[in-house]
Structure 1
Amino acid sequence: MSVDIDITGLPHERIVFSPSPLAELGMALHALAEPGHHPGLHGWTTATSAALKPELADRLHEADFLWSPTFSDVMLPAAGVRGHGGQPGATLAEELDLMDRLDDERFVSAALEFSCSAAYRSGGPSPLADERERRRALEMAAARGPRQEQYTRRLLADPPAVRAWIRRLFEDCDQAFFADTWQRLRGQLAADARHKTELLQRKGLADALAAVSSALTLDGDGRRIRVDKLSEGQATALDPDVGPGITFVPSSMGWPHLLVLDAQRWRPVVLYPVASPELSRPASVQLVQLRLEALAHPMRMRLARFLARAPYTTGELAEAEGVSAPEVSRHLAVLKKAGLITTRRRGRYVLHQLDLTVAARLGSDFLEGILR
């Protein structure tokens, strides 16, 4: 599974690497709402939550479905403004001005993204213009909860008022905690964006993508970017409605999330976590699936128990389990293909052992894969 982005013929000057203060605020709000997703930010989320005034905390709770569990595209407004070029604003105020420039239909559809309506991703009719979609938006919001239904009714009745309410909320977050956070992070994010831009100019897009994440690859003919995710999607960087381009936004607070804006009538955006030296490169979703499937068989689980303690030959494992050597060999081949065991020769014997580092990381690889 993957999200594929068509970049056929897209010139490099239309590929933008740039930090976004509004996107980083969105990730900060997501971390506050879902601290379990971001164990590395435990100190920041605990201190920030404790310092929030009750009135602001209540308002954040009222709107938290905009950044958790989904991440609303209103946080990436530069991608939806016609003729803008996809460059995020340098300040939060500039980005909020860009949010104000989104036309009502685009803003409302993105602000209802939490309802998981397929019409938004496919470029279907807006609930502002289509009565059937309006009823469907209200039904889906009601299924999510009373807060979501009340918000949706307000949004459909008066989009400018809700847009102003969201803007004031973000401005108050900036004053309460985000301005200091952004001041600390923006230099690192700007440096990362410059580095990726230089890689693009000197070595090409494939190298720049590899530096962004191992989950991003360029197909053989250079026409498509593939994002390894546990979901499927199609996007184009050549949409004439908003103009050609694709934007890559580094995030310090985003790990383990790798987000892709792939809705029609928006420029594609990839919001990626800035690499941290203590984090190893993530395994692909397919490799995680292969490893989980390999360990799902009870015989291979029992073999792994032996191999975690010491190296064993095929014959020793067969004797310990009371099965034939060819059967053990078949199971070992599955474990080896999944990268879970290592082998080495000692004289005429071949010894197998569980790779404890790989096994220990499987839980975090799984978590990163499903949250990516």
Structure 2
Amino acid sequence: MSVRIDITGLRREKVAVAPSPLAELGMALHVLSEPGHHPGLQGWVTGVTARLDAHLADRMSEADFLWRTSFSDLFMPFAGIPGRDTLPGATLADDLDLLDKLTDDQFVDAGLEFVCSPGYAYDSRRPGPLADAEMRRRALELAAARGPRQLRFARRLLADPPGVRAWLRQFLEDCDAAFFAETWSRLCHPLASDARHKSELLRHKGLAEALGAVSPSLTLDGVGGAAGRIVVDKLIEGRTHTGDGGLLLVPTSLGRPHLTVLHRFGWQPVIQYPVSAAEPAAPLTVEQLALRMTALAHPVRMRLCRNLARSANTTGELAQMLGMTPPEISRHLAVLKKAGLLTTRRRGRYVLHQLDVAVVARLGSDFLEGLLR
């Protein structure tokens, strides 16, 4: 599974790296709603929560489905501006002005996606729920299935898009005054520095090098030596294309372990990636995760791992321990080895196998990172 971005014909000058105050505020709201996703930010969450006004905290729950489980594209409005190459604003006010420039159809569509999902699908080439009664009925039906808060918000959004725009802008401005302005003043310079570094890589070494520095989960794929698409290794399926627009890379200091991709039809593709002082570690691919979990799920291989965790053993020793034939043991060992769970060493004419306990110990965190990527 992966998200694929078709970049056929994309010119280098159409690829940009820039931080976004609004996208980072969206990430901040997510961290406050789901602190368990971000154990390294517990201190920041505790500090913000302790001084948060109770009324503002209540307002956060009114529409937290826009940022709790995923991230609404409303936090990246620059991607929806015609031309598909608009950069984020330098300030939160600039980004909010871009949010105001989205059409009502764009605003309602992006707002409904996570209010009504799963099941909500909108094609901007057709009339949307503001004009199509059947789409409107379906959106309200999906929102009702999610819960009463979602249904109330969907009704407000469909009945009064300008009123919801005003409510959302005021809410985000109040968050800025309450905690985000202070946070952004600390984060904006490191984010700008990272954006400059990635831009230099892009300029001097090309897109493949820049993407590799952004995340090992990004690869450049093509046919005949020509780069044709970016593949983002994630546990979802998605497709988009740059077309005659651009590609935007947005760094985030609060986002680890999330690597998010905006792939809305008709919008500029955006990849929001976490930054850190250290070089990005190579995460397991979805295929590697599946291999390891499948390998460990078999009861015979679980018994093998029990023995191999305690000491190194030969195939013959394992066959005696488990009452199986050496060829049967060899087949199970091959599965464990292909999954990267074993180490082997030779002792004379014997090959000793042992469980790589460090790899197994990381599997839980690797799996969680794969889910949240």
Which bracket does the TM-score occupy, shorter chain normalised? over 0.9
- The one-letter code of the counterpart of 1:370 is L
SS of 2:281 mapped into structure 1: coil
2:250 corresponding residue in structure 1: 249
Residue 326 to residue 370, structure 1, CA distance change in 2 (3 Å): same
How far 1:83 sits from its partner (Å)? 3.3
SS of 2:249 mapped into structure 1: strand
Question: Separation in 2 of the partners of 1:209 and 1:355?
Answer: 30
How far 1:294 sits from its partner (Å)? 0.5
Query: Given that residues 70 and 113 in structure 1 are in contact (C-alpha distance below 8 angstroms), is that contact kept between their aligned partners in structure 2?
Result: no
SS of 2:345 mapped into structure 1: strand
Query: Given that residues 248 and 270 in structure 1 are in contact (C-alpha distance below 8 angstroms), is that contact kept between their aligned partners in structure 2?
Result: yes
Query: Given that residues 81 and 102 in structure 2 are in contact (C-alpha distance below 8 angstroms), is that contact kept between their aligned partners in structure 1?
Result: yes
Question: Separation in 2 of the partners of 1:218 and 1:33?
Answer: 34
1:212 corresponding residue in structure 2: 214
1:314 corresponding residue in structure 2: 315
Question: Separation in 1 of the partners of 2:229 and 2:209?
Answer: 14
How far 1:118 sits from its partner (Å)? 3.9
Q: 2:177 aligns with which of 175, 178, 202?
A: 175
Question: Separation in 2 of the partners of 1:228 and 1:70?
Answer: 17
2:227 corresponding residue in structure 1: 222
Query: Given that residues 260 and 268 in structure 1 are in contact (C-alpha distance below 8 angstroms), is that contact kept between their aligned partners in structure 2?
Result: yes
1:129 aligns with 2:134: no
Residue 280 to residue 305, structure 1, CA distance change in 2 (3 Å): farther
Identity level (%): 63
Gaps of 5+ in 2: none
1:97-246 matched pairs, under 5 angstroms? 97-114=97-114, 115-116=116-117, 117-120=119-122, 125-220=127-222, 221-238=226-243, 244-246=245-247
SS of 2:351 mapped into structure 1: strand
Q: Using structure 2 for the length normalisation, give the TM-score.
A: 0.96
2:17 corresponding residue in structure 1: 17
Query: Given that residues 216 and 281 in structure 2 are in contact (C-alpha distance below 8 angstroms), is that contact kept between their aligned partners in structure 1?
Result: no
- The one-letter code of the counterpart of 1:189 is L
Query: Given that residues 18 and 87 in structure 2 are in contact (C-alpha distance below 8 angstroms), is that contact kept between their aligned partners in structure 1?
Result: yes
Query: Given that residues 246 and 268 in structure 1 are in contact (C-alpha distance below 8 angstroms), is that contact kept between their aligned partners in structure 2?
Result: yes
SS of 2:137 mapped into structure 1: helix
Query: Given that residues 121 and 262 in structure 1 are in contact (C-alpha distance below 8 angstroms), is that contact kept between their aligned partners in structure 2?
Result: no
Residue 330 to residue 122, structure 1, CA distance change in 2 (3 Å): farther
- The one-letter code of the counterpart of 2:241 is T
Question: Separation in 1 of the partners of 2:209 and 2:158?
Answer: 44
- The one-letter code of the counterpart of 2:10 is L
2:56 corresponding residue in structure 1: 56
How far 1:315 sits from its partner (Å)? 1.1
1:77 aligns with 2:74: no
Query: Given that residues 121 and 263 in structure 1 are in contact (C-alpha distance below 8 angstroms), is that contact kept between their aligned partners in structure 2?
Result: no
How far 1:186 sits from its partner (Å)? 1.0
Question: Separation in 2 of the partners of 1:350 and 1:174?
Answer: 62
Q: Using structure 1 for the length normalisation, give the TM-score.
A: 0.96
Question: Separation in 1 of the partners of 2:120 and 2:273?
Answer: 24
SS of 2:62 mapped into structure 1: helix
How far 1:232 sits from its partner (Å)? 0.8
Gaps of 5+ in 1: none
2:343 corresponding residue in structure 1: 342
RMSD: 1.4
Residue 330 to residue 107, structure 1, CA distance change in 2 (3 Å): same
Write the deviation string for residues 13-65 of structure 1: whole angstroms up to 9, x where unpaired.
11111111111110110011011111111111122112111000000011111
Question: Separation in 1 of the partners of 2:321 and 2:27?
Answer: 51
How far 1:124 sits from its partner (Å)? 5.2
Question: Separation in 2 of the partners of 1:24 and 1:224?
Answer: 26
1:220-369 matched pairs, under 5 angstroms? 220=222, 221-238=226-243, 244-277=245-278, 280-369=281-370
- The one-letter code of the counterpart of 1:255 is R
Write the deviation string for residues 47-95 of structure 1: whole angstroms up to 9, x where unpaired.
2112111000000011111101121000000000113623111111100
Residue 224 to residue 94, structure 1, CA distance change in 2 (3 Å): same
- The one-letter code of the counterpart of 1:224 is R
SS of 2:5 mapped into structure 1: strand
Question: Separation in 1 of the partners of 2:199 and 2:125?
Answer: 31
Query: Given that residues 16 and 86 in structure 1 are in contact (C-alpha distance below 8 angstroms), is that contact kept between their aligned partners in structure 2?
Result: no
Question: Separation in 1 of the partners of 2:42 and 2:310?
Answer: 34
Write the deviation string for residues 303-358 of structure 1: whole angstroms up to 9, x where unpaired.
11111122111111111111111111110100000001111111111111111221
Question: Separation in 1 of the partners of 2:43 and 2:310?
Answer: 36
- The one-letter code of the counterpart of 1:216 is L
Question: Separation in 1 of the partners of 2:355 and 2:298?
Answer: 16
Query: Given that residues 7 and 224 in structure 1 are in contact (C-alpha distance below 8 angstroms), is that contact kept between their aligned partners in structure 2?
Result: yes
- The one-letter code of the counterpart of 1:226 is V
| Number of equivalent positions | 368
- The one-letter code of the counterpart of 1:152 is A
Query: Given that residues 78 and 86 in structure 1 are in contact (C-alpha distance below 8 angstroms), is that contact kept between their aligned partners in structure 2?
Result: yes
Write the deviation string for residues 90-138 of structure 1: whole angstroms up to 9, x where unpaired.
1111000000000110011001111124423786541112111101111
- The one-letter code of the counterpart of 1:109 is D
Question: Separation in 2 of the partners of 1:138 and 1:214?
Answer: 40
1:65 corresponding residue in structure 2: 65
